[in-house]
């Protein structure tokens, strides 16, 4: 079988030159509904007969994988694979490939952008002016402030370097400390509780938990420094929405900026409409450079494995 399914939303909508390499190698390409994340039923209907699968962030369940007769490899155009039932894939001998670091810079730059946007209330100010109103919120300057980075992998390291260049102090928590990463004197690793108690801004760069439980919950919120700003460019599943809303309304968390949601698009999500929340539609890796790196890497992995 020489058929490959393509599902990343931006690619099904706009295409990408890297797909020509698959066509030139003799593969037929199948696509889900353009610009939309495929449902479980759509995947079950279209995957049978495909030997390769270039996947986005859609959920790939055991039911989907069981129906995918002939599937040999799933290649992600990104690093996250928590959307895939890895146990089912292993049992069915389906290889899982990812493009390490392809979108790290894009996500890191968006993280810094969201820090500026939330600490200076930029969307609020822009919206008020567009309504013909002159209304301001007092902001903060980030030089000398402490950024807590939870998860110091490729993206976390990029964020740390950018923040240090802006004059911030950086505390990082990661279960796998990299002793070789010492970018500046005002960077250090710390335990999670110390990070929570001392950070003015916290940025999440960890995968969703395998147990499905949110990372940011009532217990964690009780440990954070009051009036903190929270940034999430990792996974929507990390957040207990109800606990976060209570913390925002109480002024414990001054603002939340997120690029990710449990369900995408998020639909009628109260967080999207909250006055102290800034949202973007999963654009962290949606830059020309990141898309090119991710797609070329994903195609390389498909051609390498299927060969």
Which residue in 145, 235, 237, 276 is the catalytic one? Answer: 235
3-state class of 268 per DSSP?
Answer: coil
Q: Is 217 left (phi over 0), alpha (psi -120 to 50) or beta?
A: beta
Residue 43 token pair: 């995947």
Which residue in 40, 95, 264, 274 is the catalytic one? Answer: 264
Q: What share of the chain is helix, strand, coil (3-state, %, to 5)?
A: 35, 20, 45
95 carries an active-site annotation:
no
16 carries an active-site annotation:
no
282 carries an active-site annotation:
yes
- The rounded distance, in Å, linking the Cα atoms of 290 and 161 is 18
CB 100 within 8 A of CB 76: no
Instruction: State the catalytic residues.
Output: 235, 264, 282
């Amino acid at each position: 079988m020489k058929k490959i399914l393509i599902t990343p939303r931006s690619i099904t909508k706009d295409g990408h030159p890297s797909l020509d390499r698959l066509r030139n190698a003799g593969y037929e390409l199948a696509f889900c509904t353009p610009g939309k994340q495929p449902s479980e039923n759509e995947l079950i209907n279209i995957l049978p007969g495909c030997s390769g699968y270039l996947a986005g962030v859609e959920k790939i369940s055991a039911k989907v994988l069981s129906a995918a007769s002939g599937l040999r490899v799933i290649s992600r155009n990104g690093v996250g694979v928590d959307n895939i039932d890895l146990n089912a894939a292993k049992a069915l001998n389906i290889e899982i490939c990812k493009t390490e670091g392809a979108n790290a810079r894009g996500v890191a730059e968006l993280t810094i952008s969201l820090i500026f946007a939330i600490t200076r209330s930029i969307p609020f100010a822009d919206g008020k002016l567009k309504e013909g109103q002159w209304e301001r919120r007092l902001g903060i300057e980030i030089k000398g402030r402490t950024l807590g980075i939870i998860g110091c992998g490729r993206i976390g390291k990029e964020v740390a370097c950018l923040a240090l260049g802006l004059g911030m102090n950086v505390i990082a928590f990661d279960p796998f400390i990299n002793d070789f990463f010492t970018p500046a004197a005002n960077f250090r690793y710390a335990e999670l509780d110390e990070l929570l108690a001392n950070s003015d801004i916290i940025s999440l760069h960890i995968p969703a938990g395998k147990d499905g439980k949110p990372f940011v919950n009532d217990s964690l919120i009780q440990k954070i420094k009051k009036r903190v700003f929270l940034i999430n460019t990792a996974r929507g599943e990390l957040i207990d929405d109800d606990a976060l809303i209570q913390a925002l309304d109480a002024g414990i968390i001054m603002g939340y900026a997120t690029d990710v949601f449990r369900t995408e698009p998020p639909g009628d999500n109260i967080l999207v409409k909250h006055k102290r929340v800034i949202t973007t539609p999963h654009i962290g890796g949606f830059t020309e450079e990141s898309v090119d790196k991710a797609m070329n890497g994903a195609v390389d992995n498909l051609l390498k494995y299927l060969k």
